[in-house]
Structure formats: structure tokens, C-alpha cells
């Protein structure tokens, strides 16, 4: 069961928040939290890990969350909740646990690495509104076998420098607009990935994460995934 250990935090949080979200009457999943609630997003960022079904108190609350998809931010009351995770479409339980949740906080919880060494990367999201004319962008390196990289524009000017696997930035303010970016091996001119037509809308907050494997095929190929945090 080693390959499923990543679900302890990632999908435990997802289950808890989905259950609480069912009773929430908030229409805006990124509005400020009240009453000691948290907002939590779960992201499946492990290229070759299976999909899972999520349960709380014996009831299924989410089905077949797969790479590279994510839940929206959902509400969860603070406290401890009983959770269970099963291999998608089966009755095989790979985790059951009681999970404590802290209120008044936004989280992104990523399942990362290859299926043989899965674990979680947990980030607290600061969703301060961008200034006029700006958007916020965070980059996370989540390609398990990719080298350290720089993010540059098409001229080679470095925007984000020397990020290795599991490294990430804060939310960086950038001018709103459309960007053509390049992912280069850190400190070199070698381009490993082109990110064309990245649209950053004024007032929006984004996460871009490197996904897949260098040399991977199909859905496991090296690429990038964009999440709109707010």
C-alpha cells in the first residue's frame, strides 16, 4: 500500500471539506471564511497515480479524482473528521483516518511524485486581491524527474529562477495580459517546455504547475497545468 500513502493528507482534506461544503450556503467558494471554516483545494498532481473515491462517515462525497485535476475551494468546519479513501470504483479502502482541520485558512494540497513515492505538498494560499492592472501568479515545480528550471520570456529574460522539484514561489504580481513563456534548464538556454498564450486577467490569481515526466508519453508527458485560485 506504499503507493497510496499520499492520500493521508491530500484526500483526507478533500473529503472533510466536501462534506462540510455540502451544508455551506456560501455562493462564492473563494469569499473570506467565517465561523472558523477553512477553504481547501485538493489537486491530483501525480502523473501515474490512480484515481480515488472519497468518503466521509461512510458516504461517498467525490468520485474518481484523477491527474491532473483538482477540486474547487470548498468549505470545511474546523475540527476533526473521520475520512476514508478507496481506489476509484472499488471497495478497497487504502486509508481511514481522523483528520484535524484549522479554520480561517485557505489551503492547496497537492498529491505529488511518482506512484512509487507519493506524498503531499501542502501550501497556505494568500489570496490578497491584485492591484489595478495586475494579476497574481504562483509557479510550482511538480515534474518528478525534471531538472531545476528557470521560467523566462521569449527573449530569455528570467522571470522565475532556479526552481527544483517541489519548489514554489509566492503569488507574484504581473501585468495583466497574454504571455508566451519558456521553461529552461536552470542557468542555460535549453528550452524544455514552451508555454504559449498564457492569459492573465486583471484581478485574477493563478497557480501554474509543471506536470508529468520528462520523456513521458500521452497524458504523462511534460507539460503545465493552470489553476484559477480566484
The structural domains of the chain, with segments of one domain joined by +, span 2-124, 134-228
7 closest CA partner among 62, 84, 114, 73: 84
Q: What is the pLDDT of residue 97?
A: 63
Q: What is the pLDDT of residue 82?
A: 60
Give the residue-averaged pLDDT of 140-146: 97
Fold of 2-124: Immunoglobulin-like (2.60.40)
181: part of which helix (H) or strand (E)? strand 177-185
List, for residues 102-111, the tens digit of each pLDDT value. Answer: 788 888 878 8
20 grid coordinates:
462540510
* Residues 189 and 157: beta-carbon distance below 8 Å: no
List, for residues 66-122, the tens digit of each pLDDT value. Answer: 999 988 887 777 777 666 667 789 997 766 667 667 788 888 878 889 878 877 788
Q: Considering the domain 134-228, what is its CATH architecture?
A: Sandwich (2.60)
- Residue bearing cell 484559477: 228
Fold agreement (2-124, 134-228): yes
Amino acid at each position: 500500500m506504499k503507493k497510496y500513502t499520499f492520500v493521508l493528507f491530500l484526500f483526507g482534506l478533500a473529503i472533510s471539506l466536501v462534506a462540510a461544503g455540502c451544508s455551506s450556503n456560501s455562493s462564492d467558494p473563494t469569499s473570506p471564511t467565517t465561523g472558523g471554516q477553512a477553504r481547501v483545494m485538493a489537486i491530483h498532481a501525480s502523473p501515474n497515480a490512480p484515481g480515488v473515491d472519497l468518503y466521509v462517515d461512510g458516504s461517498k462525497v467525490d468520485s474518481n479524482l484523477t491527474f491532473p485535476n483538482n477540486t474547487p475551494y470548498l468549505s470545511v468546519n474546523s475540527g476533526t473528521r473521520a475520512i476514508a479513501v478507496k481506489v476509484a470504483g472499488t471497495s478497497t479502502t487504502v486509508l481511514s483516518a481522523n483528520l484535524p482541520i484549522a479554520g480561517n485558512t485557505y489551503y492547496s494540497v497537492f498529491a505529488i511524485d511518482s506512484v512509487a513515492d507519493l506524498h503531499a505538498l501542502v501550501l497556505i494560499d494568500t489570496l490578497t486581491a491584485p492591484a489595478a492592472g495586475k494579476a497574481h501568479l504562483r509557479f510550482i515545480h511538480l515534474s518528478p524527474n525534471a531538472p531545476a528550471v528557470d521560467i523566462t520570456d521569449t527573449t530569455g529574460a528570467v522571470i522565475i529562477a532556479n526552481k527544483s522539484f517541489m519548489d514554489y514561489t509566492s503569488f507574484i504580481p504581473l501585468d495583466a495580459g497574454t504571455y508566451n513563456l519558456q521553461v529552461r534548464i536552470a542557468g542555460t538556454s535549453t528550452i524544455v517546455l514552451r508555454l504559449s498564450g498564457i492569459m492573465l486577467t486583471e484581478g485574477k490569481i493563478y497557480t501554474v504547475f509543471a506536470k508529468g515526466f520528462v520523456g513521458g508519453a500521452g497524458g504523462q508527458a511534460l507539460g503545465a497545468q493552470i489553476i484559477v485560485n480566484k
